[in-house]
Amino acid sequence: SQTIHQWPATLVQPVGSPLSLECTVEGTSNPNLYWYRQAAGRGLQLLFYSVGIGQISSEVPQNLSASRPQDRQFILSSKKLLLSDSGFYLCAWSVTAGAGYTFGSGTRLTIV
């Protein structure tokens, strides 16, 4: 069966520090991968998506970047975090177009 792993679950980082959040999917090949951010009490904002290794599409201009070094690995990064980067970050995958997503358990990121 397919599973998605996202870590860490919580993270507290100082302003100006770097960031690396990792997401891996097991049990499937060539998934579509997504990074979403959710501010407290708000909806879901798509940050990046990827349809293949090395293929990254950015949805909104921001302080973050994404990479897909392997088929089932998706990484969200920043060189210097801002206070506004705080939020709940969710990774998701889907197998084909016109299919639903399966979400990871999320990372609660607090910038101090």
Partner 1 sequence: GESVGLHLPTLSVQEGDNSIINCAYSNSASDYFIWYKQESGKGPQFIIDIRSNMDKRQGQRVTVLLNKTVKHLSLQIAATQPGDSAVYFCAENMAGTASKLTFGTGTRLQVTL
Closest C-alpha among 7, 17, 5, 6 to residue 111: 17
Identify the residue among 19, 21, 66, 90 touching partner 1 (CB under 8 A).
90
Whole-number Å distance between alpha carbons of 32 and 47? 14
Which residue intervals of 20-105 are DSSP H helices?
Answer: none
Q: How far is the CB of 105 from partner 1 (least distance, A)?
A: 5
DSSP label at residue 56: E
Q: Is 108 a binder of partner 1 (CB under 8 A)?
A: yes
Compute how many other C-beta atoms are within 10 angstroms of the C-beta atom of residue 94: 17
Q: Is 96 a binder of partner 1 (CB under 8 A)?
A: yes
Q: Is 83 a binder of partner 1 (CB under 8 A)?
A: no
Q: Which stretch binds partner 1 (CB under 8 A): 11-19, 20-28, 45-53, 75-83?
A: 45-53
- The interface with partner 1 within residues 46-75 (CB under 8 A) comprises 46, 49, 51, 57
Q: Tell me phi and psi for residue 55, to 5 degrees.
A: -105, 110
Identify the residue among 72, 104, 109, 111 touching partner 1 (CB under 8 A).
104
Phi-psi category of 41—alpha, beta or left, where left has phi over 0 and alpha has psi -120 to 50? left
Residues that bind partner 1 (CB under 8 A): 6, 32, 34, 39, 41-46, 49, 51, 57, 90, 92, 94, 96-106, 108
